[in-house]
Amino acid sequence: MDKLDEIRTRLDACDDEIIELLTRRMGIIEEIIEYKKESGTPILQPKQEQKQEEALEQKLDGQRYEEEIKDIFRYIVSNSKRIQAKNLFNHNILLIGFMGCGKSTVSSFLCKMLAMDSVEMDAVIVEREGMSINDIFAKYGEEYFRNLETNLLIELSHKNQLVVSCGGGAALREINVQHMKNNGRVVLLTATPETILERVKDNDDRPLLRGNKNVEFIGDLMEKRRAKYEAAADIVISTDHKSVLEICQEMIGKLMEMDA
Ligand code: S3P
């Protein structure tokens, strides 16, 4: 065996050890999630995550391959989160509710915590059409926009473990709700008209609220939509005066209950 072969043999043995260690590590991740589920411990623990990151920083501080190893750990942690998500949900999560109820905020937080992929329906439509929601409404009308929503929901129902932030009107069509439920749980986020106004007041992306940013209009439209939203929902979460962590925690708890 020449020198290079001998070195490569050692590298190979090293890879075997890494595989063994990663398998063990992922097994431990499964153990943690199982324990949390059984004991009712909150699934999302951002503080613990922070602590772990700091501990890793310390361990690697001044290490010869500090940057490279940190980079690898980012992947390890992200994949651990994926394992947790897979253990928790075998379906999509669709967030519905009135404009400004917090769908996008909740979606991005949950996706960050559980390394799930997120889909912002409005953003996908804007990108594909190459124009803003306001322009789509103005140029082709609301019905055209609603059809785009329906087609996108059909497409998403063939995927799994996505968090979908639905446009505020998406759940109003019966057929859309059927596509949502095809491979997903529907979560309705609610808020009072006052909270909604506070959240949307500085944003001009919503054609239906243009010139209508007041509690009366929001309250009326919300009331008109309430029955359809509620009929579509598998679970309902009120978001008033709650942090995004609290909302996500409550949602995961209710989704787990549903699957139990
Ligand atoms: C709409 C809500 C908007 C967007 C469009 C119509 C609605 O989405 O799809 O302006 O009918 O409620 P957000 O709820 O994400 O703002």
**pLDDT on residue 101:** 97
- Strand order across the 92-96 sheet: 117-120, 162-165, 92-96, 184-190, 235-238
Index of the ligand 1 atom closest to the CA of residue 166 = 15
**pLDDT on residue 153:** 98
Index of the ligand 1 atom closest to the CA of residue 97 = 14
Q: pLDDT band at 259, cuts 50/70/90?
A: confident
pLDDT tens by residue, 244-254: 999 999 999 99
**pLDDT on residue 189:** 98
Index of the ligand 1 atom closest to the CA of residue 209 = 10
Give the type of residue at 225.
Answer: R
Distance 250 CA to ligand 1 centre (A): 24
Distance 122 CA to ligand 1 centre (A): 7
**pLDDT on residue 200:** 95
**pLDDT on residue 71:** 97
| Residue with CA closest to ligand 1 atom 10 | 206
Distance 235 CA to ligand 1 centre (A): 20
| Residue with CA closest to ligand 1 atom 15 | 167
pLDDT tens by residue, 71-123: 999 999 999 999 999 999 999 999 999 999 999 999 999 999 999 999 999 99
Residue among 95, 118, 122 whose CB has most ligand 1 atoms within 8 A, to mutate: 122
Mean pLDDT of the chain: 96
Say how many CA atoms lie within 13 Å of 128 toward its Cβ. 11
How far is 240 from 189, CA to CA, in rounded Å?
A: 10
Neighbours of 7 (CB within 10 A): 10
| Residue with CA closest to ligand 1 atom 2 | 168
pTM of the model: 0.94
| Residue with CA closest to ligand 1 atom 1 | 168
Distance 102 CA to ligand 1 centre (A): 12
Say how many CA atoms lie within 13 Å of 118 toward its Cβ. 19
Phi and psi at residue 202, to the nearest 5°: -100, 15
**pLDDT on residue 85:** 96
- Those residues with Cβ within 8 angstroms of residue 259's Cβ, 6 or more apart along the chain or in another chain: 89
| Residue with CA closest to ligand 1 atom 8 | 167
Give the type of residue at 167.
Answer: G
For a pLDDT cut of 70, what percent of the chain falls above it?
100
How far is 177 from 153, CA to CA, in rounded Å?
A: 9
State yes or no: pLDDT of 260 exceeds 90.
no
State yes or no: pLDDT of 201 exceeds 90.
yes
| Distance (Å) of CA 46 to CA 49, 160, 203 | 5, 25, 29
pLDDT tens by residue, 145-197: 999 999 999 999 999 999 999 999 999 999 999 999 999 999 999 999 999 99
**pLDDT on residue 1:** 75
**pLDDT on residue 8:** 97
**pLDDT on residue 234:** 98
Ligand 1 site residues, Cβ closer than 6 angstroms: 99, 103, 122, 133, 167-169, 206-208
| Distance (Å) of CA 151 to CA 146, 154, 167, 171, 203 | 9, 5, 13, 13, 27
